[in-house]
Amino acid sequence: MSFMQVEDLKVHYPIRGGFFNTVVDHVYAVDGVTMEFDRGKTYGLVGESGSGKSTTGKAIIGLEKITSGRILYEGEDVTNARRKRDSAYNRDIQMIFQDSHSSMNPRKRVLDILAEPIRNFLKLSPQEERKRINELLAIVGMSEDVLLKYPHEFSGGQKQRLGIARAVACNPKMIIADEPVSALDLSVQAQVLNFMKDIQEQYGISYLFISHDLGVVRHMCDHISIMYKGRFVETGKREDIYTNPQHIYTNRLLSAIPDIEPETRIERKLERQQVEAAYRQEQHKYYDKDGKVYPLKSISDSHRVAMSEDEKERV
């Protein structure tokens, strides 16, 4: 039984223009996303830049206003509560970002950065608070020596560890990880990812793992949703997505994974070219989740699915 459901989530940004600065159109950043989450599992959200992944994550956690849709957490509608600072939802659902540096106040020491969520949600005594901070440092493999340092004194991988320590401070049920390792060197990426997996095993945390990198997602995720122009074009278990992709866009993403096997490189290049050619023919079309086809008005009009009835008639 899933502990959290996202139902038909939409985030549309108004585009203003003209002499009176009126709303002339919308960016359909997220346009009808539905998901559900089980305990201790990792859900991947994959798609190219601008497909709406980060907006989905931020809308779920309450950093973006939702145009329509619902979020249910442990049976309760938290769509509005998620914007209240001290709600249980805000304690239980945390987020880590690609750029952990800018998500930390550069003028605060590690001690205060880690204490902040504890002060907001757990209301411990000063001794208990300090004990919890030391526990958090131990969880992410750091010593107490770092407590009086500032964020700029750490490497990218260390900062991401601190970001994770802050996220797990109040025993969250889910962490939304938005490109958590994209800014790190490959060797550090592997360390942080494995370390995220260890924490998951220890504390039963679920992840919503946002990435454009299908290689990383394969390593991390149990379920994967492929996002394209604000919607999911395909959702499935990891094995199904990688071995039997149904949507041409998924195929295109998969064929773009860099090939490390020299023997299959040429074969893969030809395959990639075929998929690219097919994709070029397909990119004026939009497939909804039931496989129904709609024409896209133009490529630049990328978030709009043709809406008018007579256009739908013509398809």
Biggest CA pair distance of the chain? 69
Residue closer to ligand ATP by CB (options 87, 302) is 302
The least CB distance from residue 51 to ligand ATP, in Å, is: 4
Residue closer to ligand ATP by CB (options 49, 125) is 49
The least CB distance from residue 227 to ligand ATP, in Å, is: 7
Residue closer to ligand ATP by CB (options 28, 154) is 28
Residue closer to ligand ATP by CB (options 29, 275) is 29
Sheet strands (E) in the chain = 4-17, 22-37, 42-46, 68-73, 76-77, 93-96, 174-178, 206-211, 223-228, 231-237, 285-287, 293-295
The least CB distance from residue 53 to ligand ATP, in Å, is: 4
The least CB distance from residue 256 to ligand ATP, in Å, is: 15
Residue closer to ligand ATP by CB (options 58, 91) is 58
SS3 181: coil
d(CA 170, CA 90): 10
Sequence-separated (6 or more) residues with CB below 8 Å from residue 294: 285, 286, 287, 288, 305, 306, 311, 312, 315
Segments in 2-146 forming alpha helices (H): 53-61, 88-92, 110-117, 126-139
On the CB side of 146, CA atoms within 13 Å amount to 22
Residue closer to ligand ATP by CB (options 47, 163) is 47
Residue closer to ligand ATP by CB (options 54, 235) is 54
**Which of 284, 291, 280 lies closest to 311 in space, CA to CA?**
284
- What count of other Cβ atoms lies within 10 Å of the Cβ of residue 290? 5
The least CB distance from residue 89 to ligand ATP, in Å, is: 21
The least CB distance from residue 245 to ligand ATP, in Å, is: 19
The least CB distance from residue 213 to ligand ATP, in Å, is: 10
Rounded (10°) angle between helices 265-282 and 248-255: 150
Residues in contact with ligand ATP by CB under 6 A are: 13, 27, 29, 47, 49-55, 212
Report how far apart, in Å, the C-alpha atoms of 34 and of each of 58, 126, 214 are: 15, 42, 21
